[in-house]
Chains A and B, each alone.
Chain A
Amino acid sequence: MRHLLASRDFREGFVEMLPACVGLVPFGLVCGVGAAAAGADWFAALGMALIIFSGAAQVLAVQLYAANAPVAIIVLTCFVLGLRFLMYSAAMAPYLKPLPRSWQRGLAFLLTDQAFAAAIRRFNAKDDPRGGGLHFLGCGVALWGMWIVTNMAGFFAGSSIPASWSLDFAVPLCFIALVAPLFRTTPSIAAAVVAGVAVVALEALPMKLALVAAGLIGIVAGTLVDMMGERWKAR
């Protein structure tokens, strides 16, 4: 542990995630409030934050649980929502390849939307797998710790926050902070625009399939534009 705290990369990752943690507060509160409203006890609310560690899946799970949906439906819907993790995992794979297996297994647990975006940025900026891994670990630990604290705060005290503050809007704002700086190349803009349009157009798909389908369509669009641009340059 002391060895970890002594690592500059670990501390950099941890500190880099602190602003994102501020944005995580409302998300965690929303999850805690949802768990309380669905009739979960504090231990189950804690278990959800500790084990599932995915805001979108937790919100969805407690909503379906409160609506008395069967276990199979809840699990399947959350699994579809979590299919984006397959893409994160694939995108992260080349960077984690040089690291030991135990590191890969540990870091996989911390692969959330936020940690993914921050870690990828760092791996791209510096060609240093070990430092990048430590940085990723720092990001993940900060997010996980904050996640547990805010979930419990939401469970016990969240219902006293006035709805008119619209604090839940901080959740999309955090993702905007991660994605907007990527809009610097034509293929990335194409990937984002197509994915954004597709997710609205596919809204009617069941079980949150729209999210992962739109993501895939956006990735294909970005790749095609990238290849076209290359051919254009080669002429």
Chain B
Amino acid sequence: MEGALKLWIVIVVVGALNYLSRLSFIAFFASREMPPLLARALKFVPAAMLTALVVPMVLVPPTAEALAGTSPRVPAAIVATVVAFFTHSTLKTLGAGMAALWLAQALAR
């Protein structure tokens, strides 16, 4: 298939599927009652999903090396977590996390 056309098919189909996923349950529960157990479980979506998103970004590249403590990203992420927990501030988290990463990289060299 021709390159540009193939890419546009991907863009439109992925975009449409993303939108339908985002709309799915908002539309479904617009006129229905939500079961109480489901409503209770959904409280934990932010904590569980965001952590599942973050961990692989911190532990790459390679997981084994990161777990052994040689990746500068791990201590930087811990610093950022502590700062975010106490300050609730995105900017302070970004500043502390990037500074910790650069420091850890400089020390590792």
Contact = CB atoms under 8 A, between A and B. Distances in A.
A193 B8 CA distance: 39
Nearest to A95: B26
Nearest to B6: A71
A177 B51 CA distance: 11
B38 A226 contact: no
A117 B93 CA distance: 16
- A interface, over-half SS: helix
A199 B7 contact: no
Contact of B15 (A52, A83, A91, A211): A52
B48 to A, nearest CB: 3
Contacts of B108: none
B40 A178 contact: no
Interface residues of A, number: 93
Given A52-B15, A104-B30, A180-B85, A86 B25 contact: yes
Contact of A79 (B17, B25, B46, B81): B17
Contacts of A108: 19, 22-23, 26-27
B41 A223 contact: yes
Given A22-B91, A94-B29, A183-B47, A109 B22 contact: yes
A93 interface: yes
Interface centre among B9, B50, B63 (most CB of A within 10 A): B50
A215 B94 contact: no
Nearest to A85: B21
Interface centre among B4, B22, B27 (most CB of A within 10 A): B22
Contacts of B102: 166
A173 B91 contact: no
Contact of A90 (B29, B63, B90): B29
A191 interface: yes
Contacts of B10: 61, 65, 71, 74-75, 78
Interface of A: 19-20, 22-23, 39-41, 44, 47-48, 51-54, 56-57, 61, 65, 71, 74-75, 78-79, 82-94, 96-97, 101, 104-105, 107-109, 111, 113, 116-117, 120, 164, 166, 169-183, 187-189, 191-196, 198-200, 203, 210-211, 214-223, 226-227
17 contacts: A44-B7, A51-B11, A56-B53, A78-B10, A82-B18, A84-B49, A85-B24, A87-B42, A88-B49, A90-B38, A173-B98, A176-B93, A179-B47, A181-B85, A199-B52, A199-B56, A203-B63
Interface of B: 1, 3-4, 6-15, 17-19, 21-30, 34, 37-59, 63, 73, 76-77, 80-82, 84-85, 88-91, 93-94, 97-98, 101-102, 105
User: Considering the complex of A and B, which 7 residue pairs feature the smallest CB-CB distances, nearest first?
Assistant: A218-B48, A222-B44, A180-B84, A51-B15, A90-B25, A93-B29, A177-B93
